[in-house]
Amino acid sequence: MENTQNSARREILKIGALIGGTFALGGMLSPMNAATTQFKQPTRDNPLMLNYNENAYGYSQLARKAIERSLTKIPFYPHEAVDKLRTDIANFHQIKADKICLTNGSSAGIQSSIYAANKMAQELNLPIRIIIPNPTFEFIEEYARPLNIEVVKFNLDSEFNVDIDSMKRNEREFDGVSLVYLCNPNNPTSNIIGANDLYSWIRTAKTTTVFLIDEAYAEYVVSNLFKSGIDILKDSTKNVIVLRSFSKIFGLAGLRVGYIITTSELKRRIDEFLELESINVLGAIAASAAIKDFNFRQYCVNSNLKSKQIITKTLDSLDLKYAPSHANFIFHEITGQFDDFANNMKLQNILVGRQFTRYDNFCRVTLGTPDQMQYYTKVLKDFRKKRLI
């Protein structure tokens, strides 16, 4: 993956796998995390929220302490904290800071990338098209709509794989600027695009093609089949834009911090459309602290794998299909209609979803803590008894 820490992570996981099939915990949990992870019976007022892929383990104590120390910085524009975060991200990925755009959540990265590609097409006097898998994260379509950009969708195959061949063919045949959006791991399916497929496409793509690779969940991936766009950028000069987020494994969804890694040329184009002074000071300071907390992320990765084992075991026993999960959520069959299932879950004080096109009999569920997943799977089994699934 993208850095030495992640290589180290994979080593720990391998070692963990050796000792009796249980995972070695890379990090210790501090009191706040423990409180967050202690299982409480869901109620109507405090439901189990498995619907936004938020981090079930909260966020780094280092980030919390950094925020508490920084409340006096609030009246001031956050230039210093923002510059520091850019440097910290550059160090983390061992790249130059002039390849990084900070974004107000990775959502701003999607929006500004579309606008930049659109302007590129205007300058080249070429049409523009966005090519996406179906289903995928919906913001790409939301942001394309006001610009009236055509979005061409390619259905996932029966095993939930992104149909790279068809997308590639479309890109080849289109005489214009193609913005190829790949969410990797994909949302809602949580599966990954094979490194070889991805890399060979990018290497041979037209010069008017831009790859927008949304890696909001990349830090959860432990598979060797995954290759980050950041690594691809390191050894190619292709038009690749990688989006990363502090909302998922870093647990800072409320603070709206994400970033883009791309080429200097695309950074220049994207910066034109990014809001000036968009990063808030506490978000920047928290992100700088969180990126250094390897233990917290290691704990999240390992615990997430446990949760995945719990749910896949149940899904197997219930003979319900699911996409191979590589993030903190899983996309699984429910046999009936999504709305009915979500309503039934709500009656059990569990929020799931949301619904995605073409998969009305599937549900996206966030992987909570192992205890939470025990609870969820117990409800699933009850549903089977009641013939609700």
**Which residues of the shown chain bind a second copy in the complex (CB under 8 A)?**
32, 36, 49, 52, 54-55, 58-59, 63-64, 67-68, 71-78, 104-105, 107-108, 111, 115, 119, 139, 142-143, 145-146, 247, 251-256, 272-273, 275-283, 286
Closest CB 262 distance from a second copy, rounded Å: 17
Closest CB 329 distance from a second copy, rounded Å: 14
Measured from the CB atom, the residue of 254 and 343 that comes closer to a second copy is 254
Measured from the CB atom, the residue of 112 and 239 that comes closer to a second copy is 112
Closest CB 326 distance from a second copy, rounded Å: 21
Measured from the CB atom, the residue of 77 and 200 that comes closer to a second copy is 77
Residues 223-227: contacts with CB under 8 Å, at least 24 apart: 223/192, 223/326, 224/10, 225/192, 225/194, 225/195, 226/1, 226/184, 226/185, 226/192, 226/195, 226/326, 227/1, 227/195, 227/198, 227/199
Measured from the CB atom, the residue of 145 and 385 that comes closer to a second copy is 145
Closest CB 185 distance from a second copy, rounded Å: 19
94 HSE (CA, 13 A, CB side): 8
Residues 61-64: contacts with CB under 8 Å, at least 24 apart: 61/30, 61/32, 61/33, 61/293, 61/296, 62/289, 62/290, 62/292, 62/293, 62/296, 63/250, 63/251, 63/252, 63/285, 63/286, 63/287, 63/289, 63/290, 63/293, 64/32, 64/286
Strands 209-214 and 258-261: unpaired
Closest CB 387 distance from a second copy, rounded Å: 34
Tokens of 351: 């929020």
Residue 39 gets which letter from DSSP? -
Closest CB 251 distance from a second copy, rounded Å: 4
Closest CB 139 distance from a second copy, rounded Å: 6
Measured from the CB atom, the residue of 93 and 269 that comes closer to a second copy is 269
Measured from the CB atom, the residue of 70 and 361 that comes closer to a second copy is 70
Measured from the CB atom, the residue of 164 and 367 that comes closer to a second copy is 367
Q: CA-to-CA distance for 360 and 280, rounded, in angstroms?
A: 38
Tokens of 13: 């996981």
- In sequence order, the β-bridge partners of residue 150 are 129
